[in-house]
């Protein structure tokens, strides 16, 4: 079948609850009493075939930060705030109540080639998760070759019957920290070993701010979006600029001299 036919069958399957398994984190209320499900085609500047938008309902009260961490992750709101703000305005919903499920469709008329890993990666870097929907023959081939668990995404297969689908593999990780995830324990260990253990907490916070700024720069550069730095982050960068670091040329010169001395010592 054609890709559009597969897409329409998949949307129909979601609406009719004909999917064996659940593609949504935390399950779904099939009566849709506590959430709205919308389907967006060629979404986000035509970057994705289909994006399932899940909007959780609720009273307009102050957000629960514990709940936000469980559903989306605070890091996701901070790193992807420009993207999520854009989508929240389009969907007319509060930013912490929206979940996006980008779907890549592969009908049997399509070829599974090197484009698929790039499409999965693009979805993960943009929305933190990815779903691929395979037509009947493609799904049989993937199961036969035993490569399901090699995909960092949820894999859904068409059963060949009406609008019924089944989940072959559910990838339960949500990627909130897009780049350079920094392990707190390792940073603390390095600081302790260098005699800075009494300042480990404050220094880790400083490094985390640098990390988030770096993530925002890279993420928004990929999507050609404006850089959404907060006032606090701009003031933080301004304060850092007052500190004079050793020039890179001097560091390189000292590094080369040090390696030369090491070679001479080993020779003797």
- 160-182 per-position pLDDT tens digit: 999 999 999 999 888 775 545 56
What is the total residue count of the chain? 268
Is the model's pLDDT at 263 over the cut of 50?
A: no
Strand partners, 24: none
pTM above 0.85, yes or no: no
**pLDDT tens digits along 92-142:** 777 777 888 999 999 999 988 888 888 898 888 778 899 999 999 999 999
| Residue keyed to tokens 């399901």 | 148
pLDDT for the residue 92: 79
Task: Compute the radius of gyration of the chain from its Cα atoms.
Answer: 24
pLDDT of the residue at 259: 64
Contact indicator for 119, 89 with CB cutoff of 8 Å: no
């Amino acid at each position: 079948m054609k890709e559009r036919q597969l897409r329409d069958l998949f949307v129909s399957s979601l609406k009719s609850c004909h999917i064996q398994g659940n593609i949504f984190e935390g399950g779904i209320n099939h009566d849709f009493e506590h959430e709205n499900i919308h389907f967006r085609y060629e979404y986000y500047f035509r970057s994705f075939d289909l994006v399932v938008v899940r909007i959780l309902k609720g009273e307009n009260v102050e957000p629960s930060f514990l709940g936000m961490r469980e559903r989306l992750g605070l890091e996701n709101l901070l790193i992807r705030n420009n993207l999520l703000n854009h989508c929240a305005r389009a969907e007319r919903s509060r930013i912490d109540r929206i979940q996006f499920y980008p779907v890549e469709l592969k009908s049997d008329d399509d070829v599974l080639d090197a484009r698929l890993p790039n499409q999965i990666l693009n979805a993960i870097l943009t929305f933190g998760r990815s779903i691929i929907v395979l037509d009947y023959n493609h799904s049989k081939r993937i199961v036969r070759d035993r490569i399901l668990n090699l995909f960092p995404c949820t894999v859904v297969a068409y059963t060949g019957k009406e609008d019924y689908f089944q989940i072959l593999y559910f990838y339960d990780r949500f990627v909130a920290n897009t780049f350079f995830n920094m392990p707190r324990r390792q940073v603390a260990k390095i600081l302790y070993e260098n005699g800075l253990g009494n300042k480990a907490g404050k220094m880790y916070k400083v490094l985390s701010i640098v990390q988030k700024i770096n993530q925002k720069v890279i993420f928004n550069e990929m999507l050609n979006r404006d850089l959404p730095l907060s006032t606090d982050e701009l003031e933080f960068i301004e304060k850092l600029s007052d500190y004079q670091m050793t020039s890179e040329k001097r560091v390189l010169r000292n590094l080369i001299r040090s390696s030369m001395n090491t070679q001479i010592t080993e020779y003797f």
